[in-house]
């Protein structure tokens, strides 16, 4: 019963990981025909960026390139949402792209990342179950306790294969569990996202509980099933201020001075989307000034979405 249950869950999650199509940016991130023409006429440089800034002024975009420019995909001709990257294998932009996995011949991103994690978990349990049940016969093989038939070589091969896969899967699964706890993708672990206030390797981390819910959802009964339950729309994500992660050093005293300057305040310029505010329901309340609680307004519950006024 245990073997067939693990095998069924392994096949189910593997199937969902393979055949779930990666999600692409919605139409609002694609440039209009007039904007494309204008962009083609403008040379690379400040004029080129000015066109992109005007096109992105109403979009929930808070990350930039290393040089501080708007993230734009020339191949797909769209403004990249936060955590979106272009896959050279699929030749398209993938929402919250983690990596392109040759084992599943698919991109792992927002739409199937939960399925990929479950695939790793159930395949690891499946291999460990085989190792545990085959161990006694593996010992008998070396103590000459098995009948002298060809079956004993199958037992040895099965044990070694399952054990080696268990080692590799445990390291990969452990690494992705750490990524989930920090709300990072594989790409973000190698290159930290860049916000308007600078690079922040934990910019999307909301704490362990909320990070888990962002991938697995609020309904715990669906956590162990390869059924899509992730929170959000894949295009916008709540963020946190630099050094506001619980495992990071405390915020320098000088940082609080930005709250007094309306030009440099680190609150979102517009209300959060439903997918963002839902994740921040029980989070700490943030106010522009600790001595004046009357200035805390709707849509300002997330202080990390730094937005500068564009001209």
Active site residues per annotation: 101
* Calpha distance 223→214 (Å, rounded): 11
Nearest in space to 28 (alpha carbons), one of 59, 51, 6: 59
- Is 239:302 a contact under the CB 8 Å cutoff? yes
Q: Which phi and psi angles does 285 have, rounded to 5°?
A: -75, 140
SS3 59: coil
* Calpha distance 208→179 (Å, rounded): 11
- Is 6:122 a contact under the CB 8 Å cutoff? yes
Beta strand 85-87 pairing with 92-94: antiparallel
Helices (H), 98-150: 113-142
Number of H helices, E strands in the chain: 8, 9
Q: How big is the CA angle at 230 (ends 224 and 231), to the nearest 5 degrees?
A: 140
85: β partners: 94
Task: Give long-range contacts, CB 8 A cutoff, 24+ apart: 96-102.
Answer: 96/185, 96/234, 96/237, 97/22, 97/185, 97/187, 98/179, 98/185, 98/186, 98/187, 99/185, 99/186, 99/187, 101/17
72: β partners: 79
Nearest in space to 259 (alpha carbons), one of 228, 302, 287, 288: 288
């Amino acid at each position: 019963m245990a073997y067939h249950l693990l095998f069924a869950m392994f096949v189910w999650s593997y199937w969902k990981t393979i055949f779930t199509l990666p999600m692409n940016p919605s139409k609002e991130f694609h440039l209009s025909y007039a904007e494309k023409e204008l962009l083609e006429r403008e040379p690379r440089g400040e004029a080129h960026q000015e066109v992109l800034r005007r096109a992105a002024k109403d979009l929930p975009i808070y990350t930039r390139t290393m040089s501080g420019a708007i993230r734009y995909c020339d191949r797909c001709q769209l403004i990249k949402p936060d955590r979106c990257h272009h896959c050279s294998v699929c030749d398209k932009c993938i929402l919250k792209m983690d990596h392109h996995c040759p084992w599943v011949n698919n991109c792992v991103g927002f739409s199937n990342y939960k399925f990929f994690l479950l695939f790793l978990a159930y395949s690891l349990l499946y291999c460990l179950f085989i190792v545990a049940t085959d161990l006694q016969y593996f010992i008998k093989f070396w103590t000459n306790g098995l009948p002298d038939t060809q079956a004993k070589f199958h037992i040895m091969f099965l044990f070694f294969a399952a054990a080696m896969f268990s080692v590799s899967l445990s390291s990969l699964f452990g690494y992705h569990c750490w990524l989930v706890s920090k709300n990072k993708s594989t790409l973000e672990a190698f290159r930290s996202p860049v916000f308007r206030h600078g690079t922040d390797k934990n910019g999307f981390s909301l704490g362990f509980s909320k990070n888990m819910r962002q991938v697995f959802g609020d309904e715990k009964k669906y956590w162990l099933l390869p059924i899509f339950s992730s929170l959000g729309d894949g295009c916008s994500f709540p963020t946190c201020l630099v050094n506001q992660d619980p495992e990071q050093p405390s915020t320098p005293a000088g940082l609080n001075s930005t709250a007094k300057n309306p030009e440099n305040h680190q609150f979102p310029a517009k209300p959060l989307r439903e997918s963002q505010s839902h994740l921040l329901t029980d989070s700490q309340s943030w106010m522009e000034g600790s001595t004046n609680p009357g200035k805390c307004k709707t849509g300002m519950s997330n202080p990390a979405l730094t937005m500068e006024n564009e001209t």
